[in-house]
Structure 1
Amino acid sequence: MRIIKILLSVIVVLVLTVVGLVFVLPGEKIANLAADQVKARTGRDLAFTGDVNFSVFPTLGVSTGAVSLSNADWSDKGPMFEADGAKIGVDLMALIGGAVQIKNIELDGAKVLLEQDGEGHANWDLLPSGESADVATSDSAATEEGAGFTLDKLTISDASVRYLDGAGQEITLNDVNASLDWGGSDAVISLTARPASEAVSVEATIGNLDTLLGGDITTLLAEVSAAGNTVKFDGRASIIPEIQGVASASVPNPDAFMAALGLAGAGAPATDFSGDVTFTKDQIFSLRGGKIKLSGNSFSADADVDLKGKPVVTAKINAGDFELTQFTGTGGEGASSESAEGWSKDPIDASALGLFDGQITISASSIATGTLNFGASQLIVDVDRSRAVATLKELNGYDGKISGQFVANNRNGLSVGGKINVAGMQLQGLLTDFADISRFTGAADAALGFLASGNSLHAIMNSLDGDGNVQVGQGTISGIDLDQLFRGTPSGGTTVFDNMTGSWTIASGILTNNDLLMDLPNVQAKGAGTIGLGPQNIDYTFTPQVKNDTDTGIAIPVRVKGPWADPRIWPDLEAVVNQNFKEETKQLEEKAKQAVADKLGVQAEEGQSLEDAAKEKLEKEVGNQLLKLLGQN
């Protein structure tokens, strides 16, 4: 606000000076006098290059050649302002009556440098240091001096604005063309600029520019357009800043919009937004009745953000019927983070966990992922000092419910952990949607806990520790009857099992299970082995077995071993023999041993096995042959 007042005051001083001396002094003298006035008021050098010319009819005016205003004495970046030429026109009759009515100001080829030094100084502070006590008096004098001051039209063409923040960041606007039509209380601003490759246009109507420049609130209607994208605001604002009104955006190409503003795109989809927004002088931003359309989804949102210091966010988002197919795909090629080469070793940037603190509540009526479908859900995310805790209050689906908690902590390197509970989830619908397997029925309960750390997905998956268990009540497997299969009549039918249970531990990315059990009336199926969650491999044996009292019924182990991408699956014949023909194998071994003993003429002593007797005889014979070789007998 101060810079605008000062610039207007300078203009008033120049105009009054020019009018008073226009008929008695040549252009060079007036230019020098104007420069002296600016020097005395701001401490800056105002320099004119070329002639300074006057016109009297139809408008009293002055035009200059190149003009420049020097920068702050601490800067070495060149002038703060320079232009190829300037024209100022005033209403002579209004001036005679004591009012300063500027008809037009035209600046051609202006170059503006706005700069901070990183120590609290800005080059647009035009008053020299030490004159702060005179600021109020100066502003008051400027107000009196500019009583009745109006500006009908300001035109800026082919300008550039460069901003340096003192910390290495630079923002440049090129091809700036702007106009201000004022004349009364309403002011209409039109501006185009090119921060990057595409032109950005701004159209604004200010209800009362005097009120705005005075620091008070006035009506504001504004529209920003770039690359086919539009953002609008209709409400009230001040230059403190404060805003209150309706904001809306139609952004069919967010990346193009960001590129036009000179910012990097994030691959965001087309977005529409509307809502009531408020920003107070206490730096509190509020959104009420927010409506967002994103990738075929409609969200409603309310939010409050405290921007004093680190942002503190409190938000509630309702996703309605949430469709995730566009983001997750349908499980096709490239949909997974794992591959034949293993988990990605690319560093994970978890710095976003430190951007804000607060709580975000997300709810949905339904969730469709492209493979799985769920009902009502609610997730609460609490963020505190780079640590996020996501609490899944409920996720309903398949006649069951999932709840639990997930933690991501980036305070001292990234670590993740969680506890998940599943209650009463029907396997048939779940497996049909997830893997197109419809043969299983039964309700599952499960619990899972895990903890891992690392700065990449590879490190996290290979450091996983945890445990879990699963229980399935009575269920069926359609298309196969294991009872009939073991009775030698393989056919279709249905296997009815009484229950299925299992538990596991996870250590350094290796899941180990030794107690999987599926209990049928006449058959039981057991499982044991390891699944390498980190190395992405598996070594697991699944063993159906006929029940009997001694747990020695016929069994057919099936082994799965190898990398996830191409595991080998085969009947484990060695295990089949060991489990089912242990006695027969032992009898065959004894018969073979007896045949060898008879051939060698070995007779076992009492308490000695045939194997030991044969070994003793062979050692004795070898010793005799060695004595003969040495010439002894």
Structure 2
Amino acid sequence: MGRIFFFLVSIVAVLLAVAVFAPGLIPTATFKPRIEAAASAAIGREVTIGDDLSFRLLPRAAFHVEALTIANADGFDGDYLMRVAEADIGVNLFKLLANTVEVDRFVLTEPEINLARKADGAVNWNFAASDAEEGATDNDGARAPRDIRLGDVRIVGGRAHYSDAAAAKTYSAEDIDLNIFLKSLKEPLEVDGQMIFQGEPTVVDIVLTDLAAIIAGKPSNLKLDITIGATKAGADLNIETGETLRYSGPIDVDAPDLPAFAALVGTELADAPGFDRLSLSGEVDGGDDGLSLTDAQIGFDDIKAEGVLNLDWSGAKPKASGVLSTDKLDLRPYMPPPATSSEGFPEWSTAKMDFTSLRNIDADFDISANAIFLNDLEIGESRLKLRIDNGRMTTDIPELAMYGGQGSGRLVVNARGAKPSFSGNLDMNAVNTQPMSLDLLKNDNLLGLGSLKFDFTATGDSQAAIMSSLDGDGGFDIANGALKGVNIAQIVRAAAALQQGINPAALSTAVSAARGADETTDFSEFLSNFKITNGLVNTPTISLNGPYLTMSGNGTINLPLQTIDLRLSPRATTTVDGKEGRTVAVPMRVGGTFSEPTIAVDLEAYLRSGGVKQIRDLLGGIGKRKAAPADGDGAAPAEAEPQEETPEETALRALESIFGAPKEETPDQ
């Protein structure tokens, strides 16, 4: 920063030297080479000026020059460091004789400045020859001006370009129109004006309270208000210049268009959900490559947080880190939207999911939140450690509150490759299963307090692809709950009535009632473990214990197809603890889909266990539906009289409600 300032001072010195000494070099055409040589020696670069020179001494010294050019440093692209179309200078000679520079008028028209920094750190504004002059000036008080006063100082139609190969970034400003005011070195330096910066209209208002301190390498105060496009920034900073720039103080930034703001600092955000707006305020302490913000108030999209924020933009990709707390951490805008359906469980979506926003920035945060929203999941007060490294997000959650329970978890989303991959684990205790079932399974039929363990991996760019590739294992153990919408014990007792003789009407009523919306299967413990391979969930152990009922079972759940096939062996008793009284066992089967699950007696297993005789005795040969009369045997009248249902037909209908309707037989051809 100090060298850039000295570069600008050197340019002013060149112009002033020409303005002061040119009147003594008449004729101009003859002595123009000497002027160029003297200016070149002053800054250690070749300086050329056009043939159109004009000046006057009275009533005040004035000077006009066109086509002023300062050559670029060796090894840098471009012919010139600076080029000025026109320069008009008015200086008070009497003040100059008193060792005070008082510029009445200093107008640069269409100046062009090209600044560059190489990958090795070398810069093209480092004037080697002028360093000695700077040192000599510092050691020779007689040569250093005691004061500088600026009157009408303007830049009109300027352009500036900065290329930083070390950071792989470029910045440009065009149509620069600035006004500069300085009554003396002891008075504030004021700069205001407008330009087009990085393609965005820009308005600046800057006040440097002590220019003399900056020249001496001492701290000073800088107040600035800048509007760049839709972005507004304000600061009141203590600044120090030297080999690097340092600043500290309160700042306030509001960027309602975050992609446009990121482009201003040389970062292109991928077109992805979220990353729409940013606001921050607090106490900043930073430099050329980054900053730290304490007492920070941060708004990122709809997320509001406070704490400590660190930003580092020294590399090709910005990095954010810090310790933050927030009331609500809503991550839904950055995740693929959940599938929706007007009825039942929605089908897995095949729409492509976009995780490219993870490539926009690297991050390392420790975050505490009162609530976290992640698609269909609502998580309570929790603490998480979030890291993003080149498109790979790792979220460790050592403290996780969810559905009334406590636990921990981990989620990894890797978006580095063509298709994202996922892995994670969840370990929860004392979870209220009904609201969790409603959010995850779209029904509230599972009640109780339970523990859950789950480890998984998956790959895919859609919900359907993820479910087809899902691998993992886990288990659950739910206590003191109920299965809503079915009374398994009542169905078992109804089926067992076949062994005792049957009242058909009572059997049909009992089975229908057992499947009522208000029916429940109460249990004291319900547990299972499972293993997932390519989306197929295998449950080798299912166990349920409750009043009047114990049950074991196994089966599979096909996640990609959303189908269920579980075989259960419930045993109903006539006493609460099952130690006394009568016990009946009837195999059952849970099938259907996630949207329309079914539960019925497992007819195949029931027949294998000896149920054939009871059915035959009950039906007496009516296990098949009566065939329609053949042609010529007499058709039923058009207005058939209503016939009373026979006990056998009532029994058949009851059995169909338990076992399912028998398949229609196809007549022989």
TM-score, normalised on structure 1?
0.76
Distance in 2, Cα, partners of 1:544 & 1:435: 21
Structure 1 distance, partners of 2:229, 2:390, is 38
1:379 aligns with 2:384: yes
- Whether 1:178 and 2:178 are equivalent positions in the alignment is yes
Cα offset, 1:445, TM superposition = 0.6
How much has 1:246 moved relative to structure 2?
A: 0.4
Compared CA separation, residues 94 and 3, structure 1 to 2 (3 A): same
- d(CA) in 2 for partners of 1:127, 1:586: 109
Residue of structure 1 equivalent to 2:9: 8
In the alignment, what sits opposite 2:83? 82
Q: 2:522 aligns with which of 496, 499, 509?
A: 496
Say whether the 8 Å CA contact 1:195–1:262 is kept in structure 2: no
1:283-294 map, 5 Å? 285-294=291-300
| Kept in 1: contact 2:350–2:465 (CA 8 A) | no
SS, match of residue 147 in structure 2: coil
Are 2:427 and 1:426 equivalent residues in the alignment? no
d(CA) in 2 for partners of 1:214, 1:35 = 29
Larger RCO (CA under 8 A, 6+ residues apart): 2
Paired with 1:143 and 1:6, the residues of 2 have a C-alpha distance of 22
Tell me the SS of whatever aligns to 1:84. strand
RMSD across aligned C-alpha pairs, in angstroms? 4.3
For the residue of structure 1 that corresponds to 2:604, the secondary structure is: helix
Give the superposition deviation at 1:463. 5.9
Partner residue in 2 for 1:241: 245
1:399 to 404, 407, 419: 404
Within 2, Cα distance between the matches of 1:558 and 1:453? 29
CA offset digits 1:407-447 (Å, max 9, x no partner)? 56899999764332110111223334555634432101111
* CA contact 2:328–2:369 (8 Å) conserved in 1: yes
Equivalent runs, 1:52-63 vs 2, <5 Å: 52-57=53-58, 59-63=60-64
Q: Which amino acid aligns with 2:538?
A: T
| Deviates further, 213-222 or 73-82 | 73-82
Kept in 1, the 8 Å contact 2:282–2:296? The answer is yes
**Structure 1 CA distance, aligned partners of 2:584 and 2:141?**
105
Tell me if the contact between 1:451 and 1:464 (Cα under 8 Å) persists in the aligned partners: yes
1:229–1:100: structure 2 CA closer, same or farther, 3 Å change rule?
Answer: same
Give a deviation string over 1:34-60, Cα, whole Å, max 9, x none.
211122233433222241111345532
Match of 1:555 in 2: 587
Q: From 237, 253, 258, give the equivalent of 1:254.
A: 258
Give me the whole-angstrom Cα distance separating, in 1, the residues matched to 2:425 and 2:98: 81
Residues 146-157 of structure 1: pairs in structure 2 closer than 5 A: 146-157=145-156
Residue 476 (str. 1) matches residue 482 (str. 2): yes
Query: Bigger shift: 181-190 or 10-19?
Result: 10-19
Greater Cα offset, 107-116 or 378-387: 378-387
Q: Does 1:34 pair with 2:61?
A: no
The aligned residue for residue 208 of structure 1 is 210
Partner in structure 2 of residue 628 of structure 1: none
Aligned pair 1:318/2:331, yes or no? no
Identity of aligned residues (%): 21
Q: Hey, what does 2:606 align to over in structure 1?
A: 579
The C-alpha deviation readout for 1:375-421, integer Å capped at 9, x for no partner, is 32111346899987643222224331131344568999997643321
Indicate the residue corresponding to 1:18 in structure 2. Answer: 19
Contact 2:349 2:464 in 1 (8 A): no
- Counterpart Cα distance in 2 of 1:308 and 1:265: 16
Report which stretch shifted further, 246-255 or 450-459.
450-459
Residue 287 of structure 1 and its aligned partner are, at CA, apart by 1.9
| Number of equivalenced pairs | 574
Matches of 2:60 and 2:450, distance apart in 1: 88
How far apart, in 1, do the equivalents of 2:66 and 2:319 lie? 52
Q: Which residue of 2 aligns with 1:448?
A: 454
Q: Do the aligned residues in 1 keep the contact of 2:285 with 2:291 (CA within 8 Å)?
A: yes
Deviation digits for residues 2-46 of structure 1 (CA, Å, limit 9, x no counterpart) = 343244245335424533451562333554332111222334332
Q: CA deviation at 1:149?
A: 3.2
Q: Which amino acid aligns with 1:158?
A: G
* Contact 2:172–2:197 (Cα < 8 Å) also in 1: yes
Q: One-letter code of the match for 1:137? A: A
Q: Aligned in 2, Cα 1:288/1:551: closer, same or farther, shift over 3 Å?
A: same
Conserved 8 A contact 2:553-2:569:
no
Per-residue CA distance 1:540-581 (angstroms, 9 max, x = gap): 3134555279999333423246xx8xx8866799x6234335
Alignment of 1:322-337 (within 5 A): 322=329, 331=338, 333=340
Q: Verify: 1:221 aligned to 2:223, yes or no.
A: yes
Report the CA distance between 1:470 and its aligned residue.
Answer: 0.2
Q: Calculate the TM-score normalised by the size of structure 2.
A: 0.73
Cα pair 1:103 1:151 within 8 Å, conserved: yes
1:517 aligns with 2:522: no
User: How far has the Cα of 1:206 moved from its partner?
Assistant: 0.5
Alignment check: 8 A CA contact 2:452 2:477 kept: yes
Aligned to 1:505: 531
SS of the equivalent of 1:430 reads helix
Secondary structure, aligned partner of 1:319:
strand
Matches within 5 A, 1:534-573: 536-543=560-567, 545-547=569-571, 553-560=585-592
Say whether residues 1:275 and 2:259 are aligned partners: no
Q: Deviations over 1:461-492 (max 9, x none)?
A: 66654321101112123444333344231224
Q: Write out aligned runs for 1:92-103 (5 A).
A: 92-103=93-104
State the 1:348 CA deviation. 6.4
Amino acid at match of 1:177: D
Secondary structure in 2 matching 1:380:
strand
> Following the alignment from structure 2 to structure 1, what is the Cα–Cα distance between the partners of residues 370 and 323?
14
Q: 1:137 to 1:78 in 2, by over 3 A?
A: same
The within-5 A match list for 1:179-194 is 179-184=179-184, 185-194=187-196
